[in-house]
Amino acid sequence: MSKEATVVNENNAMIRDMIRDFAEKEIRPHMRVWDETQEFPVPLFRKMGALGLMGVLVPHEYDGSGFGYQEYVTVISEIARVDGSIGLSVAAHNSLCTGHLLQFGNEAQKKKWLPKLASGEWIGAWGLTEPNTGSDAARMNTVAVKDGDYYVINGSKNFITHGKSGDIFVVIVRTGEKGDSRGMTAFSIVKGTPGFSSGRKEDKLGMRASETTELIFEDCRVHKDNMIGAEGEGFIQSLKVLDGGRISIAALALGIARGALEASIIYAGQRHQFGKPIASFQGISFKLADMATKIEAAELLTRRAAELKDNHQPVTKESAMAKYYASEIAVEVSTEAVQIFGGYGYTKDYPVEKYYRDSKLCTIGEGTTEIQKIVISRSILA
């Protein structure tokens, strides 16, 4: 193993232990209540900020942790191994909002906002999707019209993580022709800006501690200094942000799958039927073998994408493959976990029904499985 790989492995082991210690104390005891009441636990995010988990990829000069994607994959998957919804929020904060500002913000914007995001003092949100434009994001209806030094934004965004509790929002809105990939522009909007508000909070199947709401813009005036990059570049930027975002969701799915497998292994060893542990029956042990193998494959795809990203190589195809595969196997593994737990798996007293509900988001959020297949097929047919 190269010296560099040894360092990454040792850092990852230390990060893994740190998150396990933190999650057992600060997440596991509360996650059922957060899930049942759909509470987004803001104080937890401040604590994660103090640990450096809210600015994993942000360089030290902006008060971030200065790590790469390999360590980032460890962070997201280890949090999701305990609670997928907290993993999702940490992922959205780090890779979408913070990631967009980090990649495309100018120096003044980065100096102004990144330290607040990296410390967890501010929670970040990112808005691309609209009620009628999900996969077809380029046909968005929310528009920004130039008025002197300001842009006036009207419209709405939906399914926005941290839409209510977020302190800063990066939103992509239309400044040109509908359907023109150069007709959209990214702006950052700080909470409390007149004309900007959050709408309905979604009541979701899973990922319930992660807040998802609508954003509403009614003659919201945003100064041109809040434009990220140049006018017309917003959509192109967002595709690049999503290349990294897919690694996030792959890591999220990986963590959920691993949590479901670990719970299944313990249960299958303890649960006795016909006088022996159910793990001793091939029907169960083969399921566990399949689950473990799929997780291993998903991790290799995810780590491969992370490696390319860390080396600044093209990653669109590989991150789509990792996201597609890891999210699909997270659903399969957590479904099998419920099956192994039998009747108990269907109850809230056991952990696996939550993995089962949470996992499904992974095949939908930040590009559905079908969109990933489009991305992959375009890449291999090009």
Q: What residues make contact with other proteins under the rule CB under 8 A?
A: 7, 10-11, 13-15, 17-18, 21-22, 50-53, 56, 60, 65-67, 71
- 277 φ, ψ (degrees, to nearest 5): -60, 140
Looking at the Cβ atoms of 54 and 173, the one nearer to other proteins is 54
Helix (H) / strand (E) element for 190: namely strand 184-190
Q: How far is the CB of 3 from other proteins (least distance, A)?
A: 11
Q: How far is the CB of 11 from other proteins (least distance, A)?
A: 6
358 and 350 Cβ atoms separated by less than 8 Å: no
Q: In the numeric block, which tokens belong to residue 160? A: 């926005």
Looking at the Cβ atoms of 11 and 133, the one nearer to other proteins is 11
The amino acid present at 59, given as its one-letter code, is P
Q: How far is the CB of 53 from other proteins (least distance, A)?
A: 7
Q: How far is the CB of 55 from other proteins (least distance, A)?
A: 8
Looking at the Cβ atoms of 18 and 236, the one nearer to other proteins is 18
Q: How far is the CB of 293 from other proteins (least distance, A)?
A: 20
**Percentages of the chain per state (helix, strand, coil), in multiples of 5:** 55, 15, 25
Minimal CA–CA distance to 125: which of 58, 249, 253, 214? 214
Direct distance between the N- and C-terminal alpha carbons of the chain, in angstroms, rounded to an integer: 35
Looking at the Cβ atoms of 119 and 213, the one nearer to other proteins is 119
Looking at the Cβ atoms of 15 and 144, the one nearer to other proteins is 15
Residue that is written with structure tokens 């210690």 in the block:
21
Minimal CA–CA distance to 17: which of 381, 190, 9, 171? 9
- Quick one: 338 exposed, middle or buried, by C-beta within 10 A (0-12, 13-18, 19+)? buried
The amino acid present at 27, given as its one-letter code, is I
Q: Would residue 10 show up in a list of annotated catalytic residues for this protein?
A: no
Catalytic residue among 78, 332, 366, 370: 366
Q: How far is the CB of 8 from other proteins (least distance, A)?
A: 11
Looking at the Cβ atoms of 56 and 241, the one nearer to other proteins is 56
- Report the distance separating Cα 344 and Cα 212, nearest Å: 29
24-to-33, 84, 87, 251, 364 alpha-carbon distances in Å: 15, 14, 14, 19, 28
Which sequence positions are flagged as catalytic?
366
